[in-house]
Chains A and B, each alone.
Chain A
Amino acid sequence: MQVAVIALFFGFWEIAADRWIPALFVSRPSLIAATMWKWMLDGTYLRATWATLQATLLGFVAGASTGMVAGYATGSWPRLGVVVAPIMTALYTLPRLALAPLFLLWFGLGLEFRVVFAATIVFFLVYYNTYFGVREVSGELVAAVRIMGASRWQLTRRVIIPSALTWVAAGLKISVPYALVGVVVAEMLAGSEGLGYLLAKNAEQFAAHATFAAIAGVLFIALAIDALVTLVTRRALKWKTMGAPTL
């Protein structure tokens, strides 16, 4: 059914191009497919995808790890949380794009800029999820394990971390696509490689077919990354779905 809808859509697009809509703006599927094929063969896709993936991965790891540590620290020491809260809120509300020129100034046009830009987006998503995850740990569970004679470290390891993990996993899951968005935007703003660069460059030259081909590349990695994250989080949270009615 979905396949039929998509096929119908592409069919309509192919016919409509240059009949009802100028092909300059929307190109046509056959041309896009040809461009994609060409890029696949000459290594354009491979190089751009690798650049984007590399920055996404680094940005994700940097943002997620600092976000988890900061979220855990502020979540488990309420006094620290109170002090840091207004600062975090201010930084979180600030549109990240506004920081881009500053980051460019600091880090230049290279990989660092893209990584830092993606990391700042990922950081806050993971930070808030970890923070709430730690705060939301059931007091009843903590008390029950404390009665067994658990030390503070044992409580952290046995109860607080596993319990917060549901939230953290949710934070990680939503932040992976955002890391990709961050990198692509950074590549579009300033850069000389990656899918975002490919996209922006072709759009500037009114090459709609190549722009669509670049978008297809972004879509492909986004779907691949999402599938990977779903697989990982599902394994980690197996206990949650066990016994729950399956669809």
Chain B
Amino acid sequence: MRPDTALRDESPVLLEFREVSFGFTEEEMILDGFNLSVGAHEFVALLGPSGCGKSTLLNLSAGLARPFAGRVLFQGEPVAGVNRNVGYMTQGDTLLPWLTVARNVLLPLEIRRSPVASRRAQLAAALSLVDLTDAAAKYPSELSGGMKRRALLARSLIYDPPMLLMDEPFAALDAQLRETMHAELLRTVNRTRSSVLFVTHDISESILLADRILVLGGRPLTVRDVVCPPFGKNRDLDAVRSSVEYARLEANIRSVMYRPKTSAELSLAAVPA
């Protein structure tokens, strides 16, 4: 039952963790010999309880933290310093309040000192991608919650990063708006063909969006299960939500997520770092 594997197996590996270890102290490791690979245009959800180390995976991918041991490779190259080939979006409202939407979205280009001549076209493309063209001259304080999310998405995508790192990007939204944003996110990344590494603790969100779900437990971070929702890239989220398959996956994941640690996991966790 892995109808999506063909796409993944043919696509090149974009991001790879090889035996990566990381921790804030030597005694308590968050990652201990962790392996992961994400293909081009693949949507991978990292599903797990708070504090299990999901965000650490994103920070290592973005080059904001360095592994103690092992290697993080992006497009085959080790990540050294801030990884400029990824877009990063968190649940926080990180639009600069003193800049208009347009200036906020342009900010990554200005920081990269990208050619000025093409900026106008890039801005127009990014804004139209998230349907914010009419709000270009507005300040963040004038935007609704959903518009802010879309502006942040446009800012993460304006330099065409091959991968988006998203850390619970819609956690602060109400349920209805979250559903709208799910559909918009899928539509957007299907157009840009970006890979997504998406951190969430919401089972339903992971099933709706991801091609592959890693069900995680901590600490150190372990992969308890890998689930591939068989809905394809151009899925209709309403149809998915009411499908039998969706209910089955949710029940499966729930049982895996909340079961006690298996003896294998316990013995693994007990090994001193």
Contacts and interface: CB of A to CB of B under 8 A. Distances in A.
B141 A149 contact: no
- Identify which of B97, B138, B143 gathers the most chain A CB atoms within 10 Å of its CB: B97
A239 B92 contact: no
B251 to A, nearest CB: 36
B97 A240 contact: yes
B139 A239 contact: yes
B111 A145 contact: yes
Contact of B88 (A147, A162, A242): A147
B112 interface: yes
Contacts of A158: 96, 107, 110-111
Q: How large is the interface on B (under 10, 10 to 19, 20 to 34, 35 or more residues)?
A: 20 to 34
A145 to B, nearest CB: 7
Contacts of B49: none
Contact of A149 (B96, B112, B142): B112
B112 A239 contact: no
A149 B84 contact: yes
Interface in A21-78: none
Interface in A117-160: 140-141, 143-150, 154, 158-159
21 contacts: A140-B92, A141-B96, A143-B94, A144-B94, A145-B107, A147-B62, A147-B64, A147-B82, A147-B88, A149-B82, A149-B84, A149-B112, A150-B111, A158-B111, A239-B139, A240-B97, A240-B98, A242-B139, A242-B142, A243-B138, A243-B139
A173 B98 CA distance: 19
A84 B82 CA distance: 34
B153 to A, nearest CB: 13
A244 interface: yes
Nearest to A236: B98
Contacts of B107: 145, 148, 158
A143 B139 CA distance: 21
B56 to A, nearest CB: 14
A148 B63 CA distance: 11
Contact of B82 (A140, A141, A146, A159): A146
B45 to A, nearest CB: 21
Interface string B188-201: 00000000000000
Interface residues of chain A: helix, strand, loop or mixed (majority): helix
A154 B111 contact: yes
Nearest to B141: A243
Interface of A: 140-141, 143-150, 154, 158-159, 162-163, 165, 239-240, 242-244
A159 B112 contact: no
A143 B107 CA distance: 14
Given A158-B107, A162-B98, A165-B98, 8 more contacts: A141-B94, A143-B94, A144-B92, A145-B111, A148-B108, A158-B111, A162-B96, A243-B142
B136 to A, nearest CB: 14
Contacts of B90: 140, 144
Contacts of A242: 138-139, 141-142
B98 A239 contact: yes
A149 B62 contact: no
A134 to B, nearest CB: 15
Nearest to A146: B82
Interface string B84-101: 100010101010111100
